[in-house]
A = this chain, B = another copy of it.
Amino acid sequence: MTLTDDIRSQLALQAIELPSWAFGNSGTRFKVFSTAGTARDPFEKVSDAAQVHKHTGLAPSVALHIPWDKVDSYADLRKHAQDSGVELGTVNSNTFQDDDYKFGSVTHHDDRIRQKAIDHHFECIDVMNETGSRDLKIWLADGTNYPGQDSLRARQDRLADSLQKIYERIGDDQRLVLEYKFFEPAFYHTDVPDWGTSFAQTSALGDRALVCLDTGHHAPGTNIEFIVMQLLRLGKLGSFDFNSRFYADDDLIVGAADPFQLFRIVFEVIQGGGYANPDVAFMLDQCHNLEAKIPGQIRSVLNVQEATAKALLVDTEALAAAQRANDVLAANTVFMDAFNTDVRADLAAWRETRGLPADPMAAYKASGYQEKIEADRVGGTQASWGA
């Protein structure tokens, strides 16, 4: 099977947003290892992100995390991005690193702290207005570690109230996207633990409130592509945070742990009309604890592209015919034929027709950028989560 012109046209529409924080150091509670050349400020992070787009043509925007990416002038940062060939994208709030949020942020029983968390989101909306961002993405670390620690119900009601206040503040062209997560950093309950909760909460807000699905945020064994299908069906899938995992929220390179699962997810995106649809944003949200960061992001967007090419190769007519015949093996074979196809050479050739390097990993390596940043970025403090 080869990539048809139609598939090539489809592929040309792919855009995956990169997280600025992927270019800073990250790690585990045991250790954050540092790496030579790591960016020290949002400008350097954006420069690094632009390298990914330069070599792949797949990553035209960069998501920010406030306060990690606070700068004096967002106009300057925006200009720096545009000069580098990318745009600023989604703004992510952060209500999990201030001492006040030890026991909750937008769900906190203390009105002062809850308002502080709401105000932080207002600040994020202000940033969005300066950066031209459409989406406010909210991931909450809120939860409890012990049964009885707090009222599950009261927290849920306070969550609804806080979200309402934030939602009222976003502009008509802006969206609130609520991420869910099974557990961590809370270890007994999490206030937005599953897609059902995010769906119920955002449905109560309105049409511009949507669900963010992070592929690493589910219970073991969860059929993620089913959730993709369901959220698209319900008109509530706002965005993806791509990454992969073997165990918990491992935040590995997307497609690294289970490339077949990534293929199935992208297939459902396409079937449900979520592909090349501006209403569904594709983002990475990964950590590169051990591997090189810029090549790690290049590898990631290529993995998504390969999965997409394969998913577009599925012979949906033959698939439907086999399904109608209840021929389980035939239907599965049609599906697997696409997955088993090696699309890499075709993609490399096509990439060259678009003025991109056939092998983006090699091109980056040959570019000298890595050596340059390792030489230049001496002194200062490398960016990290600052946990």
CB closest residue in chain B, given A200: B234
Chain B residues near A26 (CB, 8 Å)?
Answer: 29
Interface string of A175-217 (1 = CB under 8 A from B): 0000000111101111001111101100000000000000000
CB pair B196–A196 under 8 Å, yes or no, is yes
CB pair B247–A182 under 8 Å, yes or no, is yes
A47 to B271, CA, bound (A): 42
CB pair B340–A27 under 8 Å, yes or no, is no
CB pair A246–B30 under 8 Å, yes or no, is no
User: Does A75 belong to the interface (CB within 8 Å)?
Assistant: no
A271 to B150, CA, bound (A): 12
CB pair B333–A30 under 8 Å, yes or no, is no
* Contact A272-B146, Cβ < 8 Å, known A99-B33, A109-B324: no
CB distance from A296 to the nearest CB of B (A): 6
* Contact A146-B30, Cβ < 8 Å, known A219-B221, A223-B193: no
CB distance from A374 to the nearest CB of B (A): 15
User: Does A66 belong to the interface (CB within 8 Å)?
Assistant: no
Chain B residues near A197 (CB, 8 Å)?
Answer: 196, 230
CB pair A146–B195 under 8 Å, yes or no, is no
CB distance from A48 to the nearest CB of B (A): 15
CB pair B187–A252 under 8 Å, yes or no, is yes
CB distance from A365 to the nearest CB of B (A): 10
A196 to B203, CA, bound (A): 12
* Contact A184-B342, Cβ < 8 Å, known A196-B196, A229-B152, A271-B153: no
User: Does A378 belong to the interface (CB within 8 Å)?
Assistant: no
* Contact A225-B30, Cβ < 8 Å, known A194-B194, A248-B184: no
CB pair A30–B96 under 8 Å, yes or no, is yes
User: Does A7 belong to the interface (CB within 8 Å)?
Assistant: no
* Contact A30-B342, Cβ < 8 Å, known A147-B264, A234-B200: no
A250 to B183, CA, bound (A): 10
Interface string of A302-334 (1 = CB under 8 A from B): 000010000000000001101110101101111
Interface centre among A223, A319, A323 (most CB of B within 10 A): A223
CB distance from A76 to the nearest CB of B (A): 29
CB pair B331–A148 under 8 Å, yes or no, is yes
CB pair B31–A146 under 8 Å, yes or no, is no
CB pair A335–B148 under 8 Å, yes or no, is yes
Interface string of A233-265 (1 = CB under 8 A from B): 110000000000111101011001111110010
A152 to B103, CA, bound (A): 40
Chain B residues near A334 (CB, 8 Å)?
Answer: 148
CB pair A230–B200 under 8 Å, yes or no, is yes
Q: What are 14 A-B pairs with beta-carbon distances under 8 A?
A: A29-B385, A145-B250, A145-B328, A147-B260, A147-B336, A156-B230, A182-B247, A184-B247, A187-B246, A188-B246, A193-B226, A247-B248, A248-B248, A342-B342
Q: Which 9 A-B pairs have the closest CB atoms?
A: A148-B335, A196-B196, A219-B219, A187-B250, A28-B185, A342-B342, A220-B220, A291-B328, A183-B247
